[in-house]
Chain A
Amino acid sequence: MMARIFKHREMLLLVAILLLVGAIELRFPGFVAPRNLVSIYNDTAILIILALGQAAVILSRGIDLSIAANLALSGTIAALLNVAFPDLPVIFLLVAATFSGAVLGAINGLLVWRLSIPPIVVTLGTMTIYRGTIFLLTGGAWVNAHEMTDAFKAVPRAVFLGIPVLAWFSLAVIALMLVILVMTRLGRAFYAVGGNPHAAVYTGISVGRTHFFAYLIAGALAGLAGYLWTARYAVAYVDIANGFELDVVAACVIGGISIAGGAGTAVGAVLGALFLGIIKNALPVIDVSPFWQMAISGTVIIIAVAVNARSARVKGRVILKKAEHAL
């Protein structure tokens, strides 16, 4: 029974997270206080949103390196709209950022689908293009806190039922992505296309169109995260979330989503993001220089890949009768 449970990578990761939190609590009591846990979750909310978008892309055997640049551009667009038209309701800006993200994601998707350019090349290119576009829009200037309306900045910080709205957003996205990945044909198509694109064609799934929707979803989530980011940190400029795309990929990898596509879950992506978030937040608590964070997350990524690869090692054909089911 235990073996059966530990076959699920998510379970393994959850245990690792609990052990980590437990160890910190032992040395530094008070870490597990509800208020602190909420704050850690809140700090990780944006990473969770992006990781879920990236998960859809990686599941379908792609990768989106432009996800952070998309966040930055969409967030900046929302901020600029807010500055130019202070009377626009925030909900409109939120939708605008999400829409902008979806369009940028659709561009990636179209290039992958229609021109069959490898995803890594497409998103490497659009990553620099999207960031460059921010410069063209802002002229290199920062959009600062005092230029933004209070309403714009207030949304993610508002507290509802003891939990910040930013966290509520990520919870909603988790629920949405769980439904999409588990309960919709599109979500299952991500698994099929990533697991065996050749076979997917035979089941009537369009590989290219499935890719397109994966990038579209990742883009829309990046756009939403863009508004949340600029509003929460009350600043928008060319370099926001620079290099964050790799944290996002790291969260997915730690969460057990196979970089080769076709295997992994939304829960895994969330746990992967949480793991990174906890480490980031725990370092100051346990009095370790925050400069250690990068090296630690690097090590965690490597360990996670090694662990996942062990459980997913390619098995040969099962020919001996006695070997069937005994795996």
Chain B
Amino acid sequence: MSVSETRFVPDRLHGRAYRMARSWESLLIVVVVAIFIINSFASPYFLDAWNLSDATFNFTEKALIAFAMALVIISGEIDLSVASIIALASTAMGYAAQFGAGTPELVVIGLGIGLLCGAFNGFLITGLGLPSIVVTIGTMSLFRGLSYVVLGDKAFTGYPADFAFFGQGYVFWVISFEFVLFAVMAVLFGILLHLTSFGRMVFAIGNNATAARFSGIRVGRVKFLLFLMTGVMSGMAAICLTSRLGSTRPSIAFGWELEIVTMVVLGGINILGGAGSIIGVVLAAFIMGLVTFGFGLMNVPGIVMSIFIGLLLIGVIALPVLYTRIARRFRRDEAL
């Protein structure tokens, strides 16, 4: 090998353009553009600023949690309790609103409950060393269960008028508050994951938690912080969703945990940990939102849409596997 004879080792082998062109994100961009084009041909109502703006509500709240979930999954864990945290946080806010709590108090309560739930998950997983998938299946039952205990078959509806801003307000023209929040959080989480030493540790832990620990990284502390984050982001999503719906039932956001995990995996985050990017999650959020919206315009029911998402989820992971397998076979044939 000629490589071993040169003493100089360059920093990088390939330029930025080459690395970008080969990335998962580029593939997702192609998918987004394709869906956009198909939809605009399929329905004349698609390319309408207000309709598109409405469509963003399909994904903004889920995406808020998906950003934090992305970090958790990259670190090799999972949090299935997020939707139940929404239910509990929303219930707590509804309960407080009954006693006349104002909007600032509600926000503090929503985020605070999220933080507490996240801390509880984090303690069980990092403090007691329990597997996150089972712990969060348990807390998923527990958190939503508490919501049922408080609410039963009733609902909270009496929210202050200005509380509606988070889920229904617009910052500028068609740009909703939720969309701005989504964009800001995307940037913040992108920076956290890709530019900070914390983000680097998350990748290291997800790739090989043992080696990370052997390298002096406080694995438990990093993971604990990640569960705090999914908790707080679930609280934030609870504020937006409660504000948008104007009411709280214990079944609020039911089944969202799996949609959020789907969004994250679709975004190219390795479910086994160690790899992925926030841009991918943003693109996956758009894909899921646009597909829902497009199917909605064509009067396709949501449940059929979910078949599509399911196929997409398996397809995007299966295709690269099949591709490399076929490519290998092709190369072998050539060699013979």
Contact = CB atoms under 8 A, between A and B. Distances in A.
B306 A125 contact: no
Contacts, number: 143
Nearest to A135: B303
A250 to B, nearest CB: 6
Contacts of A65: 258
B319 to A, nearest CB: 10
A124 B313 contact: yes
Interface string A116-131: 1110111011111101
Contacts of A120: 78, 133, 271
A132 B304 contact: yes
A260 interface: yes
Contact of B310 (A132, A299, A300, A306): A132
A115 B149 contact: no
A182 interface: no
A186 B32 CA distance: 45
Contacts of B311: 125, 129
Given A253-B134, A302-B142, A291 B149 contact: yes
Contact of A117 (B149, B307, B317): B317
A122 B311 CA distance: 10
Interface residues of A, number: 47
A117 B262 CA distance: 14
A131 B306 contact: yes
A33 interface: no
B296 interface: no
Nearest to A309: B130
Interface string B253-277: 0110010011001000001100000
A327 to B, nearest CB: 19
A22 interface: no
Interface in A136-195: 136, 140
B143 interface: yes
B313 A295 contact: no
Given A124-B258, A295-B145, A309-B130, A250 B317 contact: no
Interface string A63-81: 1010000000000000000
A131 B306 CA distance: 9
A259 interface: yes
Interface string B121-157: 0001000111101110111111111101101110000
Contacts of B138: 250, 253, 298-302, 305
Interface string B288-327: 0000000000000101101101110110011001100000
A302 B149 contact: no
Contacts of B250: 291
Contacts of B310: 124-129, 132
B303 A294 contact: no
Contacts of A243: 254-255
Contact of A309 (B128, B271, B272): B128
Contacts of B139: 298, 302
B145 A128 contact: no
Given A135-B301, A291-B148, A295-B145, 17 more contacts: A115-B322, A117-B318, A122-B314, A126-B314, A128-B258, A129-B306, A132-B306, A132-B307, A136-B304, A243-B255, A253-B137, A295-B141, A298-B138, A298-B144, A298-B145, A299-B142, A305-B130
28 contacts: A116-B321, A117-B317, A118-B272, A122-B314, A124-B262, A124-B265, A124-B313, A125-B262, A129-B307, A131-B306, A132-B303, A135-B301, A238-B303, A243-B254, A246-B141, A249-B134, A250-B141, A289-B149, A291-B145, A291-B151, A292-B145, A298-B138, A298-B139, A298-B144, A298-B145, A305-B130, A305-B131, A306-B124
What 9 A-B pairs come out closest when comparing CB atoms?
A: A295-B145, A298-B142, A298-B141, A294-B145, A132-B307, A301-B138, A128-B310, A129-B310, A302-B138
Interface of B: 78, 124, 128-131, 133-135, 137-146, 148-149, 151-153, 250, 254-255, 258, 261-262, 265, 271-272, 301, 303-304, 306-307, 309-311, 313-314, 317-318, 321-322
Interface of A: 63, 65, 111, 115-118, 120-122, 124-129, 131-133, 135-136, 140, 238, 242-243, 246, 249-250, 253, 259-260, 289, 291-302, 305-306, 309
